[in-house]
Structure formats: structure tokens, C-alpha cells
Amino acid sequence: MYKLLLIIMASSIMACHSSKKATMDSTSSPSENSGWITLFDGRDLNGWHSYGKSTPGAAWKISDNAIYLDKSNKEAGGDLVTNEEFENFDLKLEWKISPKGNSGIIFYINEDTKYTSTWNTGPEMQVLDNGTESQDGHPDAKITKHRAGDLYDLITSKEAIKPVGEWNEVEVIANKGKLDFYMNGQHTLSTTMWDDQWRSMIAGSKFKDMPAFGTFKKGKIALQDHGDNVWYRNIRIKRL
């Protein structure tokens, strides 16, 4: 009888443990299970530095769980760059820009001392105040291929931006040479990198005299300091 009681008690403990484990598994963070990596946790700039430096410039701050470039005091900023490099990836984030502001999301950056800027090597998804019919935005909004969401100076994207001051959800998917942009739920741009057409586009752009531009298939990601206040949040990436 005593042995029977021990067996029953042991079975109950094991059943309870299994039930608890199942509950814990079912409530695990989706990001942990789906391969998403958080690049910014809303609290600090761990994992980031200013281009060519070892730490972030003082102008890059944290405000309301967002990375905030504060240019009001003319503090040093510089393009904010990930410590890690990425090859095939799916990048998601949100941004909002100040009135008449300009910034960008630059990728496949090779951070070598022979390249003075992120855009010497990395293509860019433009971040911009496009303005409205009644209110001018940044001057670049009047230039084809320089508007918000464009592959800067290379390809015009489908217009999907929200009014200045509102958050825009964007996604950059770069996978084995195929590049796709999304903004606010819309597929806005698609192209192929590193082929003859890609090289031809670069030859007809402002990057034509930068031989390394758009050539790297692995690199860092940057948030551009173009001299204007800008905010970024919910930055996450998945390796493909």
C-alpha cells in the first residue's frame, strides 16, 4: 500500500511538471520562436555605434522607447551603425521624421577606414518629409528617386507615406540578391541587386564614382544622421 501511494504521488508530480512546462512553452515570446532579433530594446543603444567610432554619438538619445536623433544642441551624432553584419535578412522598423527632415536606412555597409561614409558602400531606403500639396517638405521631395521610401537615387517607390510626425512601418527584405521594400503594409519596390541592370543603375546615379557602392553582399545597417531630428523604434531583424 505504501509503495502504491509513492507511485501515485510521483505520477502526480510528473503530470504537474509536464502541465507547467506546456504552459511555459505556450507563452514563450514569438520573437524567440520565429528567429527575430531585437536590435533596439527601447532602453539603451547596446549593439550600436556611430560610423567610424566605438560608441554612439551624444546626439543619439532614447525618448519614449525610441531612438531619437536630437540635433537641437548640435551635439555629435554621425550615422548610427549596428555592431553586427547581416547577409540575407528581413528588417522591420518604424520611423517618423521632423518637418522638412531627412534621414535614411542604409544597409550592406562595409565599415572600412578607406570609406569615409556609410553611403560610400550601402544602398539606402530614403526617410523624408515629402510634404503635402499645401505644405512644402524637404527639398529632396521634389527630386525623382529621392522621396520617402525610394531606393535613394536609384529607384522610385510606390507612395505610401503617412503625414509628417506620424509613425511609418517599413520593411526591407534582402535575400540572395532580391530586394523588396514595404511601407505601411504596401509592397512599394522590388529589384534585383548585383546584376547588369543594377550596375547600370549605379552608373547613372550620383554613386557612379564610388566603385564599392552597392557591391557588398554582407554588411552593417545604419540610421542616417542627415542633420535633422528623426525617431526610430521597434527595430528587429531576421536572418534568412
Q: How confident is the model over 192-210, as a mean pLDDT?
A: 98
pLDDT tens per residue, range 71-82: 998 899 999 999
Measured at the CA of 195, the angle between CA 194 and CA 197, to 5 degrees, comes to 115
CATH number of 178's domain: 2.60.120.560
- pLDDT exceeds cutoff 60 at 7: no
d(CA 47, CA 222): 12
Q: Identify the pLDDT of residue 27.
A: 27
9 is a domain residue:
no
29 is a domain residue:
no
Give the residue with greater pLDDT, 16 vs 239. Answer: 239
Q: Identify the pLDDT of residue 33.
A: 57
Tell me the H-state helices in the chain.
2-26, 30-34, 196-203
pTM of the model: 0.86
Q: CB neighbours (10 Å) of residue 20?
A: 10
5 is a domain residue:
no
- pLDDT exceeds cutoff 90 at 14: no
Alpha carbon distances (Å) from 98 to 138, 147, 208: 10, 15, 30
- Ramachandran assignment for 4, one of left (phi > 0), alpha (psi -120 to 50 degrees), beta (any other): alpha
Q: Identify the pLDDT of residue 93.
A: 98
Q: What are phi and psi of 120, to 5 degrees?
A: -70, -25
What the block records as the C-alpha cell of 197 is: 541592370
**How big, in percent rounded to 5, are the helix, strand and coil portions of the chain?**
20, 35, 50
d(CA 224, CA 26): 39
Q: Identify the pLDDT of residue 1.
A: 47
Q: Identify the pLDDT of residue 11.
A: 45
Q: Which helix (H) or strand (E) holds 129?
A: none
Question: What is the domain count for the chain?
Answer: 1
Mean pLDDT lowest for which of 3-12, 18-27, 107-116, 131-140?
18-27
Mean pLDDT lowest for which of 32-36, 58-62, 87-91, 185-189?
32-36
What the block records as the C-alpha cell of 189 is: 519596390
196 is a domain residue:
yes
220 is a domain residue:
yes
- pLDDT exceeds cutoff 60 at 168: yes
Alpha carbon distances (Å) from 184 to 9, 167, 171, 189, 233: 55, 9, 9, 13, 14
Buried-state track 186-195, b at ≥16 Cβ within 10 A, e below 16: eebbebebee
Q: Which helix (H) or strand (E) holds 145?
A: none
pLDDT tens per residue, range 22-58: 332 222 234 445 899 999 999 999 999 999 999 999 9
- pLDDT exceeds cutoff 80 at 9: no
Percent of the chain topping pLDDT 70: 86
20 is a domain residue:
no
Q: Identify the pLDDT of residue 133.
A: 83
Q: Identify the pLDDT of residue 205.
A: 98
Domain encompassing residue 65: 37-239
Bridge partner list, 21: none
What the block records as the C-alpha cell of 183 is: 511601407
**Residue among 40, 44, 86, 81 nearest 238 (CA):** 86
162 is a domain residue:
yes
48 is a domain residue:
yes
pLDDT tens per residue, range 104-130: 999 999 999 999 999 999 999 999 999
Q: How many residues are present in the chain?
A: 240
